[in-house]
């Protein structure tokens, strides 16, 4: 029993003749008759009483009719759903984003994507880059925006931009010149991303620089987000690190000053997908838009630096 046979049977039963069914389905009348005949032969049951002006269902035909209608409507619904996905009129777009995404013009991503694709449901998961990479690797998320370095095992990685990491302090003396690892060791250090600690990509870079200098860093205070760390810095409790995107944002506290590292450190923002995975049209479009917004952020930051 095939879907084509059920379509032919349903059309003939609904319209009352093979001729009308053939016209409805855009095929010839002999083709409709043969499809129904094969359906009857395969099941050993007659579905129509033939010979009158109008086809009449047998008891077997009446029994099959609701199942045929359900099968055909289900198939048509599936085709419509897939067509909507191809045309970005439905489906779900899922992507992980770095927790500081709003500083790269990504806070407007959901609003803009929804305005352009109102029929598509959007799932943006803000996590530490380590979590985003794990979720993409496992298939929980289709794609992600992360800060490198992360383990690229099972992932395809495409770097987009570099954002310099700065030293932030409310003490003018500690930002008078570029920061060295020796000076970091002596400073009251406040770090964010307490949950992931030294696994966090930015903190990993700082730890690697310290290790090369023969230094072990021990933060005085650890908090979960950069905003909390900066509030402590503004109150003179200690110093922290921050990306340039955060430093030039509206939330950056008054009285907090920055300086680059003597040996510059950069956050590299990258797009990741699972190796060999084919993105859904919705997520592919969401990633395109996110990439466009990140690159716009980079261009605006470059213009600010040139002023």
Find the mean pLDDT for residues 78-95.
61
- In angstroms, the CA 256 to CA 235 distance is 9
Asked if 171 and 236 sit in the same domain, the reply is yes
Q: What are 99-137's pLDDT values in tens digits? A: 777 777 676 888 888 888 887 788 888 888 999 999 999
Asked if 281 and 132 sit in the same domain, the reply is yes
User: Would you report the helix, strand and coil content of the chain in percent, each value rounded to 5?
Assistant: 50, 20, 30
CA nearest 9: which of 35, 45, 46?
35
Asked if 184 and 219 sit in the same domain, the reply is yes
> Which one of 41, 69, 86 terminates a domain?
86
51 DSSP assignment: S
Chain-centroid distance of CA 67 in Å reads 39
Is residue 80 pLDDT above 60, yes or no? no
> Which one of 56, 86, 116 terminates a domain?
86
Asked if 82 and 97 sit in the same domain, the reply is no
DSSP bridge partners of 163: 267
pLDDT at 105: 67
Calculate the average pLDDT of the chain: 86
- When divided into structural domains, the chain yields a total of 2
pLDDT at 227: 93
Residue 1 to residues 38, 61, 203, 244, Cα–Cα distance (Å): 9, 14, 62, 65
Confidence of residue 84 (pLDDT cuts 50, 70, 90): very low
pTM over 0.85: no
Asked if 248 and 154 sit in the same domain, the reply is yes
- In angstroms, the CA 217 to CA 198 distance is 10
Q: What are 14-29's pLDDT values in tens digits? A: 888 888 888 888 888 8
Asked if 8 and 107 sit in the same domain, the reply is no
Lowest-confidence range among 71-80, 84-93, 118-127?
84-93
> Which one of 86, 119, 152 terminates a domain?
86
Confidence of residue 220 (pLDDT cuts 50, 70, 90): very high
Q: Say which CATH number the domain at 70 has.
A: 1.10.10.10
- In angstroms, the CA 273 to CA 133 distance is 9
DSSP bridge partners of 272: 144, 157
pLDDT at 156: 93
Q: What are 161-219's pLDDT values in tens digits? A: 899 999 999 999 999 999 999 999 999 999 999 999 999 999 999 999 999 999 999 99
Asked if 107 and 199 sit in the same domain, the reply is yes
pLDDT at 141: 87
Asked if 12 and 127 sit in the same domain, the reply is no
* pLDDT cut 70: percent of the chain above it: 92
Find the mean pLDDT for residues 69-81.
72
Asked if 162 and 57 sit in the same domain, the reply is no
pLDDT at 56: 87
Confidence of residue 255 (pLDDT cuts 50, 70, 90): very high
Q: Say which CATH number the domain at 132 has.
A: 3.40.190.290
* pLDDT cut 90: percent of the chain above it: 43
**Could you tell me the residue range of the domain that residue 198 belongs to?**
93-306
Asked if 267 and 207 sit in the same domain, the reply is yes
Is residue 49 pLDDT above 80, yes or no? yes
Asked if 104 and 62 sit in the same domain, the reply is no
pLDDT at 32: 86
pLDDT at 52: 73
Asked if 169 and 192 sit in the same domain, the reply is yes
Residue 38's H or E segment, with its range, is helix 29-43
Burial class for 24, CB neighbours closer than 10 Å (0-12, 13-18, 19+): middle
């Amino acid at each position: 029993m095939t879907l084509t046979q059920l379509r032919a049977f349903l059309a003939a039963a609904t319209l009352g003749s093979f001729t009308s069914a053939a016209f409805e389905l855009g095929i010839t009348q002999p083709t409709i008759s043969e499809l129904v005949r094969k359906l009857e032969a395969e099941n050993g049951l007659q579905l129509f009483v033939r010979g009158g002006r109008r086809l009449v269902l047998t008891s077997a035909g009446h029994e099959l009719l609701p199942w045929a209608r359900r099968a055909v409507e289900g198939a048509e619904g599936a085709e419509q759903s897939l067509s909507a996905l191809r045309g970005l009129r439905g489906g779900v777009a899922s992507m992980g984003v770095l927790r500081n995404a709003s500083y790269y013009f990504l806070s407007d991503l959901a609003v803009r994507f929804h305005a352009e694709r109102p029929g598509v449901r959007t799932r943006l998961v803000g996590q530490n880059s380590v979590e985003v990479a794990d979720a993409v690797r496992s298939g929980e998320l289709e794609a992600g925006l992360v800060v490198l370095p992360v383990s690229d095992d099972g992932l395809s990685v495409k770097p987009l931009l570099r954002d310099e990491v700065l030293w932030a302090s409310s003490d003018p003396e500690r930002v008078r010149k570029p920061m060295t690892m020796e000076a970091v060791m002596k400073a009251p250090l406040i770090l964010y991303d307490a949950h992931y600690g030294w696994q966090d990509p930015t903190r990993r870079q700082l730890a690697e620089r310290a290790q090369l200098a023969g230094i072990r860093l021990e933060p005085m205070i650890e908090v979960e987000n950069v905003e909390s760390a900066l509030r402590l810095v503004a109150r003179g409790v200690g110093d922290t690190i921050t990306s340039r995107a955060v430093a030039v944002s509206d939330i950056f506290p008054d009285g907090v000053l920055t300086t680059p590292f003597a040996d510059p450190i950069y956050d590299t923002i990258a797009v990741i997908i699972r190796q060999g995975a084919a993105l859904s049209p919705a997520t592919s479009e969401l990633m395109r838009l996110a990439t466009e917004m990140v690159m716009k952020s980079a261009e605006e930051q470059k213009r600010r630096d040139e002023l």
